[in-house]
């Protein structure tokens, strides 16, 4: 039997919420250009942490307009996330022990306008973008 454990796959760090839409079916809409750089996919499960109030949710991704900078919390999550809040969005992957040595999560550090400032292959390693 091969055991797998969950590890960070990619992180969007310090993004700014642009919208909160209570009456849309639940999910998070993210600028597709950001998703493409991190190899994140529509309907992929993510965890979203609100830096302003500590709220944490799990939801799934919907593609937003490329280049728009959109980060919109939809559905019930809109009660915990408001425009202007800073968020961290994390996706995870399952790895077995043999994959650990080469696994490097991609970390996108965001500007205030939700453009990528840099992408790192680890939180304290070199910039790769």
The answer to whether 41 is a known catalytic residue is: no
Q: What is the DSSP string of 50-65?
A: ETTT--EEEEEEEEE-
Beta-sheet strand order (sheet of 56-64): 19-21, 71-74, 27-31, 56-64, 45-50, 86-95, 5-16, 106-110, 116-120
For residues 68 and 73, what is the distance between their CA atoms, to the nearest angstrom? 15
What angle is formed at CA 43 by the lines to CA 127 and CA 93, rounded to 5 degrees?
50
Respond yes or no: is residue 9 known to be catalytic.
no
> Which one from 27, 68, 92, 98 is the annotated catalytic residue?
27
Q: Which of 24, 41, 60, 68 is catalytic?
A: 60
Task: List the catalytic residues.
Answer: 27, 60
């Amino acid at each position: 039997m091969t055991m797998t454990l969950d590890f960070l796959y990619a992180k969007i760090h310090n993004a700014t919420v642009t919208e909160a839409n209570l009456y849309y079916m639940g999910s998070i809409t993210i600028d597709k250009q950001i998703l493409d750089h991190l190899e994140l996919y529509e309907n992929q499960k993510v965890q979203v942490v609100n830096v302003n109030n500590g709220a944490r949710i799990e939801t799934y991704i919907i593609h937003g307009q490329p280049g728009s900078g959109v980060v919109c919390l939809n559905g019930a999550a809109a009660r915990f996330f408001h425009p202007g809040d800073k968020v961290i969005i994390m996706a995870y992957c399952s790895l077995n022990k043999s994959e650990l040595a080469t696994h490097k999560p991609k970390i996108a550090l965001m500007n205030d306008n939700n453009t990528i400032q840099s992408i790192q292959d680890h939180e304290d390693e070199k910039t790769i973008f």
